[in-house]
């Protein structure tokens, strides 16, 4: 049974699946969303072990979300990794680096993500947070009211009405049929599970091949002596 959660936020489903594959283990469950609003809604009542958030979210930038999250006392020590594209091909924009530093972002990584650097760095951040040695957590005194205020700002910017229908409990114009969304979600989960099993199978095959190669090399050394 997992004892910690990692929150992933990225508008690209491929990136979400990739990060899920890299970071999921026997101790960890992944919560994946695609908007800043979904991030903030989750954080109103939950405290993940790690947040991996894309800067290019559709409703509020990942760095802006990180800044608000780090200002909440309960969430201040949660490590935050922000991922961002490199539009020029010459590295991350220095302005974005400054913004990330001012927001107390723990790690800023360029996209696309595709190697073990994310996994290794995430483990180090998790270990530091669990040991209480995070260097990015400053003294904070804000409550989750900061999150509620940000949610209101997002709604205002998008023109979402604040009044809910008394009969249905839904926002006017909100989709009421969850069927297609649930079907897509289940399909993505099934695909993700299949990918994880495939990765595990390939890792086992690789370990077996390495063991056989080592055994063969040891036998050769035994028959012919040490190679020069």
Q: Answer yes or no: do 195 and 110 share one domain.
A: no
Residue-number span of the structural domain to which 195 is assigned: 176-228
In a domain, 45, yes or no: yes
Weakest-pLDDT range from 37-46, 66-75, 151-160: 151-160
Q: pLDDT at position 39, please? A: 96
Q: Answer yes or no: do 137 and 183 share one domain.
A: no
**How many structural domains is the chain composed of?**
2
Q: pLDDT at position 65, please? A: 96
In a domain, 171, yes or no: no
In a domain, 67, yes or no: yes
Q: Answer yes or no: do 114 and 203 share one domain.
A: no
Q: pLDDT at position 99, please? A: 94
Q: pLDDT at position 88, please? A: 64
**Of the residues 162, 190, 220, the one at which a domain ends:** 162
In a domain, 170, yes or no: no
Q: Answer yes or no: do 212 and 113 share one domain.
A: no
Q: Answer yes or no: do 228 and 184 share one domain.
A: yes
**Of the residues 113, 137, 162, the one at which a domain ends:** 162
Q: Answer yes or no: do 34 and 146 share one domain.
A: yes
97 has a pLDDT exceeding 50: yes
Q: Answer yes or no: do 104 and 158 share one domain.
A: yes
Q: Answer yes or no: do 145 and 99 share one domain.
A: yes
**Of the residues 139, 162, 185, the one at which a domain ends:** 162
In a domain, 167, yes or no: no
Q: Answer yes or no: do 25 and 77 share one domain.
A: yes
Q: Answer yes or no: do 103 and 10 share one domain.
A: yes
The mean pLDDT value for 63-89 works out to: 89
Q: What is the CATH number of the domain that holds 139?
A: 3.40.50.2300
In a domain, 169, yes or no: no
Q: Answer yes or no: do 137 and 207 share one domain.
A: no
Question: 3-state secondary structure string, the chain?
Answer: CCCEEEEEECCCHHHHHHHHHHHCECCEEEEEECCHHHHHHHHCCCCCCEEEEECCCCCCCHHHHHHHHHCEHHHCCCCEEEEECCCCCCCCCHHHHHHHHHCCCCEEEECCCCCCHHHHHHHHHHHHHHCCCCCCCCCCCECCHHHHHHHHHHHHHHCCCCCECCCCCCECCCCCCCHHHHHHHHHHHHHHHHHHHHHHHHHHHHHHHHHHHHHHHHHHHHHHCCCC
Q: Taking all residues of the chain, what is their mean pLDDT, rounded to a whole number?
A: 80
Q: Give the pLDDT band (50/70/90) at residue 9.
A: very high
In a domain, 85, yes or no: yes
Q: Answer yes or no: do 125 and 212 share one domain.
A: no
């Amino acid at each position: 049974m997992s004892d910690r959660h990692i929150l992933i936020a990225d508008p690209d489903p491929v990136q979400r699946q990739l990060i899920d594959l890299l970071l999921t283990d026997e101790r960890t469950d992944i919560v994946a969303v695609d908007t800043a609003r979904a991030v903030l809604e989750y954080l109103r009542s939950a405290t993940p072990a790690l947040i991996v958030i894309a800067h290019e979210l559709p409703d509020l930038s990942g760095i802006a979300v990180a800044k608000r999250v780090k200002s909440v006392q309960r969430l201040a020590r949660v490590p935050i990794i922000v991922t961002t594209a490199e539009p020029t091909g010459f590295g991350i924009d220095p302005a974005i680096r400054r913004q990330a530093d001012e927001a107390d972002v723990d790690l800023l990584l360029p996209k696309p993500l595709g190697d073990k650097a994310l996994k290794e760095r995430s483990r180090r951040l998790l270990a530091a947070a669990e040991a209480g040695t995070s260097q990015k957590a400053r003294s904070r005194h804000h409550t989750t009211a900061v999150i509620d205020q940000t949610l209101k700002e997002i709604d205002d910017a998008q023109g979402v009405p604040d009044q809910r229908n008394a009969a249905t409990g839904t926002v006017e114009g909100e989709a009421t049929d969850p069927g297609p969304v649930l079907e897509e979600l289940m399909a993505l989960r099934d695909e993700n599970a299949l990918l994880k099993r495939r990765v595990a199978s390939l890792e086992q095959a690789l370990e077996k091949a390495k063991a056989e190669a080592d055994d063969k090399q040891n036998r050769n050394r035994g028959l012919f002596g040490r190679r020069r």
